[in-house]
Amino acid sequence: MIALRTEKELDLMEAASRIVGLVHRTIKPLVRAGVTTAELDRVAEEVIRSHGAEPAFKGYHGYPATICISINEQVVHGIPGNRVLEPGDIVSIDIGAKLAGYYGDQAITRTVGKISEAEEKLLKVTRESLFKGIEAARPGDRLSDICTAVQDWVEQHNFSVVRQFVGHGIGRKLHEDPAVPNYSPPDRNPRLRKGMVLAIEPMVNMGKPEVVVAKDGWTASAEDGLPSAHFEHVVGITDGDPRVLTMMEEEIDTPG
């Protein structure tokens, strides 16, 4: 069953999402060589709790940390720990927070120093595909319009969308109906209606789409070992233009 949220509920979700954005802003300068992923996780939890919110991921199905940090060939759900960031790393950071009973969720891929032109293109295309999906999130259209917009942009640039992990509805639960694949056709293809809230999150591999999950039961990596990127926004369907509830990177990247 797909929940339809009121304007007040969207405001509450935006408040949770802004806390997520503030976490991204706080840890951005810490994404540098010599910093451990555990340190990023510690700071993220401090910021979330200092704003009266709770980490959305910690304890979720047993996940042991506050945020997910996936590096280079890792696609999603990397667990923070003693790993030290190194020059040239591609670092995907996924953060969630719960505030007043509602969830916010956002992923951004950052880099440690200089990366190759091909890797820069991977990040650029992945982020662009997210906005192609957002542009398609309009009332009366179908979920598949979002999915197809993402997939077409990614494959037009000779990259691959991950199929094992998908976006999702979000609201009073971190993951709600419907699933939001980055490929078409989806298993279910509901018509988009005002009040639906979707976490659209392209996960894009430089090589093939297949992933493998590590022995930790969480960390998913590209099977071929090539880099991956991940960007995510939470989007509300309105009567007209989609409402992005998460903070734009331009705002996150501006010291506040």
* DSSP per-residue string spanning 185-211: S-S--PBP-TT-EEEE--EEESS-S-E
Instruction: Give the number of domains in the chain.
Output: 1
pLDDT of residue 255: 77
pLDDT of residue 143: 98
- Percent of all residues in the chain with a pLDDT value above 90, rounded to a whole number: 97
CATH classification at residue 47: 3.90.230.10
Note the pTM of the prediction, 2 decimals: 0.97
Quote the tokens at residue 92: 């995907």
Kindly state whether residue 2 falls inside one of the protein's structural domains.
no
Kindly state whether residue 200 falls inside one of the protein's structural domains.
yes
Quote the tokens at residue 226: 């090539």
Strand stretches in 118-174, DSSP E: 160-161, 167-169
Q: Range of 122's domain? A: 7-252
Residue 238 phi/psi, 5° resolution? -120, -170
pLDDT of residue 256: 65
Q: Tell me the pLDDT of the chain averaged across its residues.
A: 97
Length of the chain counted residue by residue? 256
pLDDT of residue 107: 98
pLDDT of residue 84: 98
Kindly state whether residue 145 falls inside one of the protein's structural domains.
yes
Kindly state whether residue 158 falls inside one of the protein's structural domains.
yes
pLDDT of residue 104: 98
Q: Running DSSP on this structure, what letter comes out for residue 60?
A: G
| Terminal-to-terminal C-alpha distance of the chain | 39
- Mean pLDDT within 200-213: 98
Residue type, 125: V
Kindly state whether residue 21 falls inside one of the protein's structural domains.
yes
Peptide bond into 178 cis (omega under 30): yes
- Mean pLDDT within 133-139: 98
Kindly state whether residue 42 falls inside one of the protein's structural domains.
yes
Under the banding of pLDDT at 50, 70 and 90, the label for residue 29 is very high
Half-sphere exposure of 48 (CA within 13 A, CB side): 28
Quote the tokens at residue 32: 């540098």
